[in-house]
Chain A
Amino acid sequence: MQFYELLHDTTYRYTSPVLLSQQVAHLRPREILRQRLVSYVLEIDPAPAQRRERTDFFGNPVSCFSLYAPHDRLTVRARSRVGVLAPDWPAPAASLPWEAARDYLLDALSGHAPLQAEARDAGQYRFASPFVALGAEAARYADYALQCFTPERPLLEAAAALSARIHADFRFDPAATDVATPVAQVFAARRGVCQDFSQLMIACLRSLGLAARYVSGYLLTEPPPGQARLVGADASHAWVGVWCPGVGWVEFDPTNDMQPGDGHITLAWGRDYGDVCPLRGVILGGAGHAAEVAVTVMPVEAACDDIRAPH
């Protein structure tokens, strides 16, 4: 198991005071079979007047907090320690034909028979969602995906091919999009970041009738040879889960054309970015806010080493 010390700092500076601030944070790494959460602390400055920890509809841990006193700066630091196992993804060629997966899901969701628990879960991720619109544009996503999803092709093999195709066709360009850029615009411009590529891949899969979900997390990046690891040099990351009957969720990272390994640390998952946005809030006042985000992913030797804060 590979252990990590994670720091996720978000700082908002406001040009006029914020009178009231309510925030919802998806910053606590989710505990899953292949990922162990050793510790998690959320430091908020100024201190919130109210705070509550809960679990959202998708099973993710959420921290909600509010500030009622005027402030012109807000700093939120999530400090976690997790252990991650490299997943053992099933062989893509051995999976069932993608049409069978589509029909199985359709049948399970049509109400003709009692719903299997796992299909019930997968069904949440089968339809359009706020950040993944599937109106008239759905036909174009389907056309794009069908080049990989040839008849009778094994589902996971086709999904891997789609991930590779997106990686080849699209350029990584942080300046091209922001958090709210619609998938259709990404598809037309052929540029974006991990959020965009993941949501595009999800749109393609759902337009074929398959269930796909958005995974938010971090990726360990290796510093250039001979250089030290820099604090705050990393970023939050996103990738895609595809549901395969009988197997479960299998993940693909279209930004890097790979399947997640023990360098992918999971925070949360949902239908799209909107369900798992790391820090979402509503503020009263505070015109012209600017956010700075700094993420550090630091591999550590063991679960309990006392790692000094880099600051």
Chain B
Amino acid sequence: MQVQPHSPPQLLADYAARPDRYDELCQRIGSVVVLRPHWRDFFHGLAAMPAAETAARRTALRRQIHENGITYNVYADPRGFERPWELDLLPYILPAAEWAQIEAAVLQRATLFNRILADLYGEQSLLQQGLIPPALIYGHSGFLRPLVGAKPPRDLFLHLYAVDLARSPDGRWWVVADRTQAPSGAGYALENRGVVARALPELYRAAGVQPLVPFFETFRDGLATLAPEAGAEEKGGEGRTEDGDAPLIVVLTPGPYNETYFEHAFLAREMGFPLVEGQDLTVRDEKVFLRTLEGLRRVHVILRRVDDIWCDPLELRDDSALGVAGLVAAVRAGQVAVANALGSGILETGALLGYLPRLAEHLLGQKLKMPSVATWWCGEKAACDYTLKHLRELVVKPAYPTVGAGPLFCRDLPAAELDALAARIAARPFEFVAQEMVNISQAPVLATEDEPAAGLVARNIGLRVFAAVGPDGFRVMPGGLVRVAPETDMRVVSMQHGGGSKDAWVLSGPAAATGPSRRPAVPGQIALRERSLAAPGLASRVAESFFWLGRYSERADGAARLGRETLGRLGGLAVLDHVGPAAGEAGAQADSPTVAALAELCRRCGVLPRAGEDTEGGEGTERVEGSAAAQVLACALFDDARSGSVVTNLRMVLRLASQLRDRLSPDSWRIYNRLAGFATPVTEAPGLGEAMHRLDESLLSLVTLSGFVIESMPRDAGWRFLSIGRRIERLQFLASALAVLLAVPHRGALEALLAVTDGEIRYRSRHARGLAPRPVAELVMFDGDNPRALRYQLDSLIDHLARLPDGAALGEPLAALMRELDAVTDCDCLAGLAADGQATHDAAACGAVFGLLQRIWSAGNALSDAISQRYFTHLDARSHATASR
């Protein structure tokens, strides 16, 4: 069916220009409303697109956000609240000439702020001359006194700077706020670019958009120039062997619970820096080191996303678990560069805005190129008087950082609250800043499906622009993060208040487009050019996460296979005795011993509550039969309150994966996101079909992920720990499955054993004439070529361990067990298993086999402990602060 293309009026039918706001898309000339010139090409391109195609593009964009796992706060909330990133399909477009003005203003501001910081933490001449009111600084908790006098490399305090801009009705740009501590958003902007350029490739290419990637390359090169010089170490007489090595730059994150953790991991991965947490770093002799498997590695530059007061429990906040004890001393000693410098957060106060014009004159000899929104710091008498007189027209904000204090729009306050606010301001004027309200501009957004409007609608927007240091000074990112106000509160442009984002397209000017230095604008190009940076050994914490990721992935796999097999057999008339361990004596059905054995295996693996763990039903044997039993099992499989259930194991997998986010490929991350859809708890008992579907889907994703591990992961230490974790878990699962299912002299038990070890095909291809215990045992125990056989796990573990530092000794107990296993192969005790499937065999006769299985299972535990001891131990120890009177 042919869909009629939009005509422009259709697209704009619900788009309302407002006289009190600047409209980014349209302008009024006389009585006519026309498109602004820089929007024309894009708009006509969009208008030519059939509505169904636009909708499909948006669907594709959303799918990609979901698959890339772009979130604003991944697992940030203990209640599991996570918000997917909101991105509009339409970009925000700025012409080259207008951008040039913004760029110049942001460059000037970054330079100015760096000079102010250098003075506040150095001479303090600005305070002495009264150019900045001393009260503003002295009263601010972000003025970090231990850093006064510390001189950073190249006199740079500010390395990544962000500024929030808004446009007033007359079209002028104003600065609303500055971000000088650890600005977020640059990574989201880069991710937005990749997603939008992929969703609208033809429009993106036609527009001639300035690429973002060179900005990040410059920033990376700039950070490398901050590394303390090798010569400085020689002067210190320490004689470390690192001279001449490439600098090690790390990204310091508070961890996966931070609201912008996605971005920390994304930037680390894109720029090629290890992502570390405070406990990964340690200070020795006033130098910072990364704890790796191979020992301590010197760190030269820290790009931090931890707020500065949390960065060092020794000299800053002593209750911080996020920082590195001794970091401040290392900074003072000039042995590490921290970006942005500790203490730079103080410039985020709105109280400073009013003083910037004279500071620009004084420090740079220039006029301030872009004004700040009119702001009054009440610490000044005149400003306080003005504020109290005009309170109703103003927005009041805290001057010093205060937890949970947002802007107050006085116009909306009831009279009593307004009076109370006025009293607070009068009592503690230093603590308040008042700002003029700005009617910010509006830009077109594609209406969502649940809106009554169609086509484009107008939403208020703010633009966050970034500047970063390169090897020779600041550079401004050509573009930025456009934040869109939610319809519910059009005044607040903030990711925290909901609302969305847009990609910002800065069009190339005619000169720039032909210049040889410009890189071609490739849609979705986000890869940075290679640069030689130090590749550190694996951080111990990361190794530990990989190890457990391997274990839980395999545990989830085993639980899902076992659940599927048991559920399938329960679908009939079988009996599940879910309380007592008593098995096969009850039930007339031929298959009930198999089901009882599977239930026992479920208990051993923690999929079902272990005996005594389940209190419901009290004394006696409550017997649940047939489909009711299937219900009980299905609930247990998806019970997120119990460790061992499939859902809990999947959640652990996802949690560990999110901690390793910077080290997992985007493709595998998409599978993890798919898996997340099946890791949700069920509210009511799932039907059998639903439960089977969930198990199948989970298994499919898990198998796909293990395929990534084999095919895509580099064979580094991380991969090795992941593999070791996986092998240990599978070794234990196989030992349990063999011990339980081989003991049952039923054909069904053998079938089940093959099913949960994925061995049916291989078995049939070798033994055409039906099931027999001995060949099944051979396949699952001794087959050195079967990756789901016991022997294979031992063999593989011994090999992996031999390649770890000091690892060979850990493999010795396994080698002994393997020799025993080989001895059993020809042993008589297997003869007991040689009977026909229907015949009984004497389990006692196979005592040697079962004893060995038990010891192999225990060896798995012992190995896991030994690995933790040897490679992860120091992370068990927690730092804490001490103080004496």
Contacts and interface: CB of A to CB of B under 8 A. Distances in A.
B877 interface: yes
Interface in B871-885: 874, 877-885
Given A278-B885, A280-B314, A126 B135 contact: yes
A277 B883 contact: yes
Given A57-B146, A280-B314, A282-B314, A291 B882 contact: yes
Interface string B27-63: 0000000000000000000000000000000000000
Nearest to A24: B314
B885 A109 contact: no
B430 A284 contact: no
B318 interface: yes
Interface in A282-296: 282-285, 287, 289, 291, 293
Interface string A172-183: 000000011000
B146 A22 contact: no
Contact of A112 (B128, B130, B145): B130
A50 B285 contact: yes
Contacts of B696: none
A94 interface: no
Nearest to B355: A111
Contacts of A58: 145
A123 B135 contact: yes
A22 B380 CA distance: 42
A78 B133 CA distance: 40
Contact of B134 (A64, A120, A235, A280): A120
A281 interface: yes
A235 B135 CA distance: 36
Interface in A156-197: 179-180, 195
Interface in B841-885: 874, 877-885
A120 B127 contact: yes
B629 interface: no
Among B128, B136, B286, B314, max chain A CB count under 10 A is at B314
Contact of B883 (A22, A50, A52, A279): A279
B138 A282 contact: no
A208 B877 CA distance: 45
Among A113, A123, A134, max chain B CB count under 10 A is at A123
B152 interface: no
B766 interface: no
A175 B380 CA distance: 44
Interface in B131-171: 131-136, 138-139, 141, 145-146, 148
Nearest to A179: B883
A124 interface: yes
Contacts of B146: 56-57
B247 interface: no
A285 B876 CA distance: 8
B746 to A, nearest CB: 52
A138 B145 CA distance: 24
Interface in B326-375: 326, 329, 355
Contacts of A42: none
B884 A293 contact: yes
Contacts of B139: 126-128
A29 to B, nearest CB: 17
Interface string A222-256: 00000000000001100000000000000000000
A58 B139 CA distance: 16
B874 A115 contact: no
Given A22-B283, A24-B315, A120-B127, A109 B134 contact: yes
Contact of B882 (A20, A109, A283): A283
A123 B282 contact: no
A277 B379 CA distance: 31
Interface string B96-134: 000000000000000000000000000000011111111
A180 to B, nearest CB: 8
A144 interface: no
Contacts of B428: 134, 138
Contacts of B885: 179, 195, 235-236, 278, 293
A139 B427 contact: yes
A11 B799 CA distance: 49
Contacts of A68: 284
A10 interface: yes
A310 interface: no
Nearest to B326: A22
Interface residues of A, number: 53
A40 interface: no
A124 B135 CA distance: 9
Contacts of B274: none
A278 B282 CA distance: 24
A281 to B, nearest CB: 5
A282 B322 CA distance: 13
A2 interface: no
B381 interface: yes
A287 B879 CA distance: 9
A22 B325 contact: yes
A110 B145 CA distance: 20
Given A56-B146, A138-B428, A109 B884 contact: no
B509 to A, nearest CB: 42
Interface string A94-135: 000000000000101111111100001001101110100010
B69 interface: no
A85 B735 CA distance: 81
Among B131, B138, B379, B884, max chain A CB count under 10 A is at B884
Contact of A109 (B135, B284, B315, B878): B135
A282 B751 CA distance: 58
B313 interface: yes
Given A109-B135, A120-B127, A64 B884 contact: no
Nearest to A292: B884
A123 B136 CA distance: 10
A115 B314 contact: no
Contacts of B136: 111
A66 interface: yes
A110 B877 contact: no
A111 B124 CA distance: 13
Interface in A72-109: 106, 108-109
A134 B292 CA distance: 44
Contacts of A280: 314, 318, 881-884
Nearest to B128: A115
A284 B284 CA distance: 13
Nearest to A138: B428
A15 B884 CA distance: 18
Contacts of B284: 49-50, 66, 68
Contacts of B132: 111
Contacts of B285: 49-50, 66
**Lowest 3 A-B CB distances belong to which pairs?**
A111-B133, A127-B139, A282-B325
Interface of B: 127-136, 138-139, 141, 145-146, 148, 282-286, 313-315, 317-318, 325-326, 329, 355, 379-381, 427-428, 430, 874, 877-885
Interface of A: 10, 12, 19-20, 22, 24, 49-50, 52, 56-58, 64, 66, 68, 106, 108-115, 120, 123-124, 126-128, 130, 134, 138-139, 179-180, 195, 235-236, 274, 277-285, 287, 289, 291, 293
13 contacts: A50-B285, A52-B286, A111-B132, A111-B380, A126-B138, A127-B138, A180-B883, A280-B882, A280-B883, A283-B880, A284-B877, A285-B878, A287-B878
Given A19-B877, A50-B286, A127-B139, 7 more contacts: A108-B134, A277-B883, A279-B884, A280-B881, A282-B326, A284-B877, A293-B884
